[in-house]
Chains A and B, each alone.
Chain A
Amino acid sequence: MNPTLIILLLALLTEGAFPDSGTKPETRPGPDAPPSNTEKQSKKPGSKEKSSLSKSKNKPVKESSKKAGGKEKSSTPYETRSSAESKTSGDGRARQNKKSAPPEDVESDPPEDAESAPSIQETVVTARPSPGKDHTAAVTSVKGSNIRRSTRTSTIEALSQESAGIYVPGRGVGFHGVAGGASGAIHIRGLGGSPNSQVLVVENGVPDAQGIFGHPIPDAYVPFLIDEVRVVMGGDSVLYGSNAVGGVIIIRDRWRTTRGWELNNETAFGSYNTIKETVSFLGRWKSFDLAAAFHARKSDGHRDGAGGANKVANLTVRWRINPKLNLTLRNKAIHLSGTDPGPITHPNDDHWYDVLRDNFYLKLDWDKEWFQLHVVSFANIGIHRLYDGFFSLDTTAGGFGEWKVKVLDNLRFLLGVGTEWLNGHVENRIQNEVFPVETFGNVSSYGQIDYRPHSSVHLVAGGRLMYNTKFGGVIMAKAGATWEPWRGFFLRSRFTRNFRQPTLRELYLPFPTANPDLQPEISHNWDFSVTWEHKKLKLSATTYYSSVKNLIKYFGAWPSAEVVNIDKVEVFGVEGLAQLKNLGPLGFKITGNWQDVGRYTKQNPDAKINFQMDARHRHKNHSFLGTVSGEWVHGLYMNNYKRDPLPNVFFIDMSLRYRYRYASGSSLEPYIVLRNILDNRYAYIEGYLMPGFNIMAGIKTTL
């Protein structure tokens, strides 16, 4: 099929203006805590930026509008640029903010039904001050609604589609599994990979480094409740601790913002007997909020042995003790089962895996005018079983307290203390062999200063001191700045010193060997961005350099392998963004990345381009959305030293959505996703050929 034809078809289909076709400025608060007062006002109900679809969501909007007349405060130089911009038409200039959020509306998240935000993202690694704890960080921000609507099959693949600096090898309609190979490996600016231990996932403020192998499991992050995912490029161990070397993926779930309840259901069926069912329920009554969700997906896979299933259940309850004090309790359970099909030339026979995990946290948030206090305790337990007799039970437990205080209008401090402990039991049940594992943990204190000497300048500096029971003390540091010398023209730069502690596997487990004397990896990351924004055009370029010392590296093979701290990775790269917005019903975005990763070329490509085009149309209660997106990956190798090159990856996906909204506010949204419409034969990993043209169709219901 000719892609040009598809684009023309889409354009014809969506002929006519669509009120919210422009991109919506970033208005999200930090993901790790309830939004600050500064942030709250940016989502003030009745904002001029409110999309037409949001307006038509009668119940919540009306209710919110009634509360829009709360107390007001004058803005300060400290107000984040992003929040200020939420009231503008996108030219990036707004100096006056009014705080009006009433206590009821402490959360900003829109109801599910208001998922009318454009698919093309506003915030993708630009020089503009980023929302979140560190306003000088390079951030890719993706709305949960965009992840749910992505043509890609997993959350982390959807992130890869949004930014060229994130590279995730796909697995077709199947599952990434335990990421023992390369599928699901997350590379951020050349760091990370398989296992994903150089990338940290933080879910609702809680780090999700999982026990034995010390890395996240890609299939565990399903987007049913996600409000926003923010990827901090260049890492940030000062704020997030170990593993935040290449980057931090910060996932924040949504809450209902107004009294009442909402029920969302999505059922989909597609090629290879793929069935997906997702149901989520959000409620808000008196002093309590509830967010519950269940997700199940099953697929036969596009070839023998590529199938599997995952089930994820989530229950979060928040008690609003008073308008400033919240207590949140959350439990998330995951069951993942599947098989590694092996390369198509030599398929595996029944190489199955089975993973059961449970995450729990209890969080207290105290949000006063001049300070915020967050106290979190968490536990993460997992049972992993493999076809070869491997069995592991791992536990990660910890907690932290974080205090943010506004000393002056333009000066803020963040102080924190944290601890984390890891333990595990590993055995091979076929060989009746138990592998001893020693518990280890750490305590750390950290701080950050955030200073705005001038309305156009933002400076951030911070440090963390960590003591680990295994390898002693480690010092982390960072410093960054943003500057807007002219209207719409931004410069930013940041330096971070990050670390990754060795995993239990690397320290104790003979897979294929271990070394209990390993020390943490230390990285130094630096980047510099230039961004120019105009009403209809946005251009951004970033250059970055990372160096990881004390690299934990395996040499040789069983039975004479060794793992030692030696060598360093050096990565230099540039990435860019071009975005056209406010072009009637159309939107277009392209991101590109080129990097030199030295000899560490294994599954770490030289270049990547992602593009996306959106077209929208709305007529009364009917709305249509069509997207065409694609990815091109160049310079893929199966091994280091540029050995075993692979052909370029290139594919185009397409989706068509129609939504009908009833007068009651409920809606129905049937959709169809067409993947790899050119039926290209491509592979991210040698021998793991991706599926050809395939389809997924479903219907979303919102009550």
Chain B
Amino acid sequence: MTGFKINRSSFLIILTTLSLSCETIEPEIIIVNEIGNHVLVKDISFNGCLWTSVLAYGETTSPKQCMSGPGRIRFQRFDVEEYCRIQAEQGYIDSICYCDDPIEDPTLINDIPLWFRYQTIKTRTAKLGHFHIFILTTEDQEQDFSAPGPFGH
């Protein structure tokens, strides 16, 4: 009977260990925004993981365990410089841009900055048991038309 109890305990320990090990081998991913120093990214996703935080240039997501296999990184992008340039062409937004021209159309100040959907051109592959650092760059991005807009021009 005692022997049986020992066996049962051992069995449960082994099973629990196996079960836990199953999760620890899922790949761990972090993503770095190196697109440009004026580009913010948010809602980054890869193989089922979603990071909702906003990353400035050089910033990194927290590590997450994602599904293994190949996939593209998708994200929403906001180009602060481009936004300011467009706003500056038509108005003066004191709090955002260092523009000297007078306000031509005050309603533009209320324009909501739009985050456009992008994805990497290259596919990344996450491998079981690996820790991956994936970097977003200017060269490796294109518009993502596979989801509802906004898409931009």
Contacts and interface: CB of A to CB of B under 8 A. Distances in A.
Do A and B share a direct contact in the complex (Cβ within 8 angstroms)?
A: yes
B66 A693 contact: no
Contacts of A306: 48
Contact of A345 (B43, B69, B72): B72
Nearest to B5: A668
A283 interface: no
Contacts of B95: none
Nearest to B23: A271
Given A303-B49, A693-B22, A697-B19, A346 B71 contact: no
Contacts of B43: 349
A341 interface: yes
A345 B74 contact: yes
Nearest to A699: B12
A418 to B, nearest CB: 45
A303 B19 contact: no
Specify which of B48, B49, B52 lies most central, judged by the most chain A CB atoms within 10 Å of its CB. Answer: B48
Interface string A621-652: 00000000000000000000000000000000
A305 interface: yes
B45 interface: yes
Nearest to A271: B22
A291 to B, nearest CB: 29
Nearest to A273: B23
A347 interface: yes
A102 interface: no
A345 B45 contact: yes
Contacts of B52: 349
A77 B15 CA distance: 53
Contacts of A391: none
Contacts of B97: none
Nearest to B64: A304
A660 B4 contact: yes
A269 B19 contact: yes
Given A670-B8, A692-B68, A699-B12, A347 B19 contact: no
B39 interface: no
B67 A697 contact: no
B127 to A, nearest CB: 12
Contacts of A693: 22
Contacts, number: 79
Nearest to A302: B67
Interface string A243-273: 0000000000000000000000000011111
A681 B69 contact: yes
Contact of A346 (B15, B23, B74, B128): B74
B49 A670 contact: no
Interface size class of B (residues with CB under 8 A): 20 to 34
Interface string A275-308: 0000000000000000000000000001111100
A672 B15 contact: yes
Interface string B42-68: 010101111010000000000010111
Given A344-B47, A660-B4, A269 B66 contact: no
B2 interface: no
B138 interface: no
Contacts of A349: 43, 50, 52
A304 B49 contact: yes
B110 interface: no
Nearest to A301: B48
A670 B4 contact: no
Contacts of B50: 304-305, 347-349
A695 interface: yes
Given A271-B22, A670-B12, A303 B146 contact: no
B83 interface: no
A269 B12 CA distance: 10
A672 B74 CA distance: 37
Given A695-B22, A696-B19, A689 B12 contact: no
Interface in A659-703: 660, 668, 670, 672, 681, 689, 691-697, 699
Contacts of B16: 269, 697
Interface in A294-352: 302-306, 341, 344-349
B8 A344 contact: no
B147 interface: yes
Contacts of A270: 19
Contacts of A347: 45, 48-50
Contacts of B12: 670, 697, 699
A694 B71 CA distance: 21
A654 to B, nearest CB: 13
Interface in B1-34: 4, 8, 11-12, 15-16, 18-19, 22-23
Specify which of B11, B19, B71 lies most central, judged by the most chain A CB atoms within 10 Å of its CB. Answer: B19
B66 A303 contact: yes
17 contacts: A271-B23, A272-B23, A303-B48, A304-B66, A344-B47, A344-B48, A344-B67, A344-B71, A345-B45, A345-B147, A347-B48, A347-B49, A660-B4, A672-B18, A695-B15, A695-B18, A695-B19
4 A-B pairs with the lowest CB-CB distances in the bound complex, closest first: A697-B15, A303-B48, A347-B50, A344-B48
Interface of B: 4, 8, 11-12, 15-16, 18-19, 22-23, 43, 45, 47-50, 52, 64, 66-69, 71-72, 74, 128, 146-147
Interface of A: 269-273, 302-306, 341, 344-349, 658, 660, 668, 670, 672, 681, 689, 691-697, 699
